[in-house]
Structure 1
Amino acid sequence: MSKFYTKITSRLQKFIEAQKIFFVATAPNSGRINLSPKGMDSFRVINENRVLWLNVTGSGNETAAHLLENDRITMMFCAFEGAPNILRLYGKGTELKEGDASWDALITLFPETPGTRQIFDIAIESAQTSCGMSIPFFDYKGERNELNDWATEQGKEGIKNYWENKNQTSIDGLPTHILD
C-alpha cells in the first residue's frame, strides 16, 4: 500500500542513502517526458524538504530545459536488495551552475567529479512509498568509469565545446541556457 509523507523522514533518508541508482523524471509543458537513471555519488538530502542532485555532462540536458519551463521534478528510488520498497520524491527544482551565488558552498558537498554540469536544488513537496514487491533483485557490482574517463579526456574546454554543440537545447528544441 502506498503512503504519502510531507517530508523526508529519517527512515526515508536512510533508504535513499543506501541506494546505488535513482531515476529522475521531468516534462515540458508540451513535448516528451524525460526519465533517466542516475548513479555515482550525486545525491544529497540537505534536510527533510530539500535535496541536491549533482548532474554531470551527458548526451542531453533535458532536466535543465524542463525546469526552466515549469520546475516540476520527480525522483524515484527502488530497493533492488533487502526489503521491497519504492520511494518517489515530488518537488520543484532549480538549476545552479558554476558562478551562481550558492555554487561554491554546495559543490563542496560532492566529490570532485569530471564533467560536472550543474546542481539541481529541489524543494520536496511530498514523498510517496509503495510496496515494490514486483521489483527484482539485482546485485551491485560497482560504478562504471567510462563517463568520468571521457570527461577527464575532454578537459574543461572540451566539455564546454560539447555543451555548445550538444546541450543547448532539449530534444524538443527548448533552450537550456547552459552557457549563460
Structure 2
Amino acid sequence: MKLYPSINPDLADWAVRQPVFFTASAPTHHPHINVSPKGLSAHFAVLSPKLVAYIDRTGSGCETIAHSYENGRLTLMFMSFGPAPRILRLFCKSRIVEWDHPDFDKWMKRVIPQDEAGGVSNRDSYDGARAVVIGEVWEVQTSCGYGVPMVRKELYAPATASEDGTLEKATQQQQQRDVIDTAGKETTMTTTTTTKRDELSVFEERPTLDYYWKKRVDNNTVNTYQVETNRTSIDGLPGLKAARRDAGETLWIADARAEVLRAARETRGVVLGVLVAVLVYFVTGVVGGLVVKAREGREHNWIWPN
C-alpha cells in the first residue's frame, strides 16, 4: 500500500479508462453505509491532481448526495480487471452542484469530453443528470489488488501456440482474399488484426438508463420522479434540494431540524463536554480557594505583633 497527496498523471490516465468505479459514503450517525457502482463512459474526469468530478444520473436513491450535504465524506475506488493488478482509492471532500444551479452547465462541460468540433459527445447519454459530484482529493491510496478476479485473457487477446505447436483457438489468422479494384486490376490484400486489445474491451455499456431517461425527458417527468425518490436518504437525511423545492418543502426548516437531530445523537460528546465543564469548575474552585487562603496567610503574617 502507498499513500500520495495527489493524483499523478499515470493514475489519472488509468482511472479514466476503467469501465467501472465505486463511490462510498456514510452519514455521521445513522447506520447505513452506501456503496454505489458507476460505469457509463465519460461520467468521471480528473480535472487536476487534487480535483475530480463525475456526473450523477438520477436514480431511485440519493445517498451520496445526502451524505455529501451532511458531512462531505466521499471515497472513490477503481480496480484493475487485467493482468496488472491495482486498486486505487481517492479520499475526497465532496460538494454537490445540482442541475438547477447556475454553475451546473459549466461543470458538465468540464466533465463531458468534447469532440473535434467542440460539441458534446453522446449528449443523449446524460439525460436525467441530477448533479455533478465534485471531489476535492486530500489523499490517494494504491494497493496490490491481488484479490480481485481477472477477465479471462482468451476473451480479448489472440491465442498463442501451445507446446505441441498448434493454436489453441483460431482467434488470429491472416486472411488473403482477391479484391478487384475499380480499375479492373486484380490485387491481393492481406488482412491482419493489429489492434491491441486489453481486458477493458470485453465490457460494454448497458443502454437502459439512456433509453429510460430520454423517455422521461421527452415526457417531462424527470422532476416528478426526483420528487418521489430523491428528497431524502434511507435514513431520512435531506437529499436533492431541487426535488425538495419542487415538493414545496421549506429548505431551511428541514435543514435546521436535521441539524438538531444530528446534535442530539452526539450524546457522547455532550456528556463528555458536561463532565469536562464540571471538572474545570471543580479544579478552578479548589485552586482559587487555595490561592485565597495563601494570600490571607501572608497578610496575617505581616500584621502579627512582635
- For normalisation by structure 1, the TM-score amounts to 0.94
2:139 maps to which of 126, 147, 160: 126
Could you tell me which residue of structure 1 aligns to residue 12 of structure 2?
13
Whole-angstrom distance in 2 between the partners of 1:152 and 1:101 = 23
Q: Which has the higher contact order (CA 8 A, sep 6+)?
A: 1
2:221 alignment partner, SS class = helix
Q: Within the alignment, does 1:135 sit opposite 2:148 as a pair?
A: yes
What value does the CA root-mean-square deviation take over the aligned residues?
1.3
Contact 2:72 2:95 in 1 (8 A): yes
1:59–1:167 CA contact under 8 A, matched in 2:
yes
Please, which of 164, 168, 172 is the counterpart of residue 227 of structure 2? 164
Tell me which moved more, 137-146 or 119-128. 137-146
- 1:52-72 superposed Cα distances (whole Å, 9 cap, x missing partner): 110001110111100111000
Whole-Å separation in 2 of the counterparts to 1:167 and 1:102: 21
**In the alignment, what sits opposite 1:75?**
76
> Take 1:167 and 1:6, find their aligned partners in 2: how far apart are those partners?
34
TM-aligned CA deviation for residue 153 of structure 1: 1.1
Moved >3 Å (runs of 4+) = none
- Pick the structure with more helix per residue: 2
Q: 1:28 aligns to what?
A: 27
Partners of 1:100 and 1:60 lie apart in 2 by: 20
Residue equivalent to 2:274: none
TM-score by length of 2: 0.57
Aligned pair 1:84/2:85, yes or no?
yes
Provide the residue aligned with 1:94 in structure 2: 95
The alpha-carbon deviation at position 99 of structure 1 amounts to: 3.4
Contact 1:167–1:178, Cα closer than 8 Å, also in 2: no
Q: What does residue 215 of structure 2 align with?
A: 153
| Separation of aligned partners in 2, 1:167 and 1:100 | 17
State the one-letter code of the partner of 2:95. T
% of aligned pairs identical?
35
> For 2:206, which of 133, 138, 144 is the aligned residue?
144
Match of 1:51 in 2: 52
Q: Across the two proteins, how many residue pairs are aligned to each other?
A: 179
Secondary structure class of the residue paired with 2:210: helix
Residue 213 of structure 2 aligns to which amino acid in structure 1? A
The CA distance in 2 between the partners of 1:115 and 1:7, in whole Å, is 31
1:163: how far off?
0.3
CA deviation vs aligned residue, 1:42-91 (integer Å, no higher than 9, x gap): 00000000001100011101111001110000000000113000000001
Partners of 1:72 and 1:173 lie apart in 2 by 18
Report the AA paired with residue 97 of structure 2: L
Q: Is the 8 A contact 1:72 1:93 kept in 2?
A: yes
* Larger of the two Rg values belongs to structure: 2
CA contact (8 A) 2:25 2:33 kept: yes
Verify the 8 A CA contact 1:76 1:88 in the aligned structure 2.
yes
